Amino acid sequence: MRRLAFFISVLISHLSLAQDGPYHPAATEAGTNAVSYQSAAITGWATGVEITRGLFDIANPNGPLVTAGIEYAALGASDGGVVTLGDSGVAVLTFDVPIQNRNGYDFAVFENGFYSPIDEGFFLELAFVEVSSDGINFVRFPAHSATQTATQVTTYGVLDPTYINNLAGKYQSGFGTPFDLEELADSSLIDINNITHIRIVDAIGSIDPNLASFDTAGNAINDPYPTDFESGGFDLDAVAILDQTVGIDDFQDAIFQVFPTSFRSTITVQTPLNGQLQVYSLTGQPVINRSINSGASQLNLQHLQPGVYILHFTTQNGKTYIRKCVKQ
């Protein structure tokens, strides 16, 4: 299934997909932060795993647990083999060498989502990501789902990745969702330069408040539900260690640069093109919207609250490039 999905994603890679939300777009679109399973930035993979299976359907607590895949499928390189977690299932990954907070993203989680040309969207099953330096104390990445919650995404329904942030499973098969340990720098429970465990927790896609999983802002995470079969819930393929001093997308860097990426008051954006710059908080709230011209432009962001911000630069021909920065 994964390889078929991957080939479908390649076939549609030339299409221009809708980018309605504030977050990084699909893996085949300009401005994505998706990590290819062949990326030169990958320096290693998980070497140990422990799986706690979840239910077919969280609404039936006495029902069966999922059974698809074997736990060792989550080890080593992304290769199409998966282990299914089920509703609220958990995977804990370990590594031969602790993960350190380096430049850019530090690790990526691979799932087996796929593009549906009929529904013109992505079938994605999502999960929370947590990290630990001792295997006891875990800290969860702030996750955001801006997908509408008025209508349940059905069993085989689709999602728009631009409404999803910091949830594993955001991208289709063959592409990992990256995570930056710098976002957790303020936590006293972990050492971001000595991450020994990564925990993946299936997000229940129901919008029923009695069953739902909620993002950092308290929004129900709406993804395909129910998936009451043996392969339901998040399907873990692999977890990769990244070093983005290798394999950086030089083309995107040339089009839209932001520095410093960790700042107190001002940042500089540089581009050879004219366009529109929008700055969003992690919850998807716009905080700045202004035109910028080619060259270097300085932005005073002193008024913003400390946290992570996402910068969208849209060129006059409609291409969007996305960067992230952290206000101290």
Q: pLDDT class for 26, splitting at 50, 70, 90?
A: very high
Residue 154 or residue 118, greater confidence: 154
- pLDDT-derived band at 245 (thresholds 50, 70, 90) equals low
Omega prior to 226 cis, within 30 of 0: yes
Q: Residue 132: what pLDDT? A: 98
Judge whether 69 and 53 are in contact, CB under 8 Å.
Answer: no
Residue for token digits 């990745």? 161
Other CB atoms within 10 A of residue 47 CB: 13
What is the C-alpha to C-alpha distance for residues 228 and 185, in angstroms, rounded to an integer?
A: 38
On the question of pLDDT at 1 being above 90, the answer is no
Nearest CA among 20, 25, 5, 24 for reference residue 123: 5
Q: What is the pLDDT of residue 194?
A: 97
pLDDT at 272: 83
Q: Which residue has the tokens 């529904």?
A: 119
Mean pLDDT of 63-70: 96
Q: Are 206 and 89 in contact (CB under 8 A)?
A: no
Contact 291/276 with Cβ under 8 angstroms?
A: yes
The Cα 239–Cα 45 span in angstroms is 6
- pLDDT (mean) for 249-262: 68
Q: Is the pLDDT of residue 9 over 50?
A: no
pLDDT of residue 55: 98
Question: How far, in Å, CA of 301 to CA of 170, rounded?
Answer: 29
Cα–Cα nearest to 283, from 248, 303, 309, 315? 309
Residue 13: predicted pLDDT: 39
Q: What is the DSSP secondary structure assignment for residue 229, as one 8-state letter?
A: S
Q: How far apart are CA 306 and CA 164, in angstroms?
A: 21
pLDDT digits (tens, 9 = 90+) for 126-157: 999 999 999 999 999 999 999 999 999 999 99
Average pLDDT of span 270-287: 86
| Closest to 322 measured CA to CA, from 9, 2, 24 | 24
Could you give the CA distance from residue 262 to residue 181 in angstroms, rounded to a whole number?
13
The pair of three-digit structure tokens given for residue 240, joined into one six-digit string = 């990769």
Distance of CA 197 to the CA centre of its chain: 18
Of 170, 150, 168, the C-alpha closest to 160 is: 170
Q: Is the pLDDT of residue 10 over 50?
A: no
Question: Is the CB of residue 107 less than 8 Å from the CB of residue 230?
Answer: no
Q: Which domains does the chain have, with CATH numbers?
A: 2-242 (2.60.120.260), 250-327 (2.60.40.3080)
The pTM assigned to this predicted structure is 0.78
Least confident range of 167-171, 233-237, 314-318: 314-318
Give the pLDDT of residue 138: 98
